[in-house]
Amino acid sequence: MNEVYSIIKLAQQIYTFMIIGYVLLSWLPNARESFIGVFLGKAVEPYLGIFRRFIPPIGGMLDLSPILAVFALQFVAAGLIAVIGFFI
């Protein structure tokens, strides 16, 4: 059980850091066009797009969807661990 918990937690942390890195790249001009920006965009945009459909940017500039996406990711990871723990 500890191995499964560790793998899920590690995957959740890595994806959270990828979301944070992608958001930080938006602050730098032309950073999203770099190799890292394109890679993170392909990995993170499909997930963030789900939240952006329901939460539009505030004032056209402030995007709160990554915050909600990180919280949802934490809840999903905790739920997955609980469900797997129930069956094991």
pLDDT in tens, 29-63: 899 899 999 999 999 999 999 999 998 888 778 88
Q: Residue 17 corresponds to which amino acid?
A: F
Residue 75 has pLDDT above 80, yes or no: yes
Return the pLDDT at 67.
94
pLDDT score at 59: 79
Q: What pLDDT, on a 0 to 100 scale, did the predictor assign at position 80?
A: 94
Q: How many CA atoms lie within 13 A of 6 on its CB side?
A: 3
Which pair of tokens denotes residue 14? 């890595």
Q: What is the pLDDT of residue 40?
A: 95
Given pLDDT bands bounded at 50, 70 and 90, which one contains residue 88?
confident
Look at the block and give the residue holding tokens 């730098």: 28
The answer to whether residue 81 scores a pLDDT higher than 90 is yes
Q: Alpha-carbon distance 6 to 13, whole Å?
A: 10
pLDDT of residue 15: 98
Domain ranges of the chain: 2-87
* pLDDT, position 25: 93
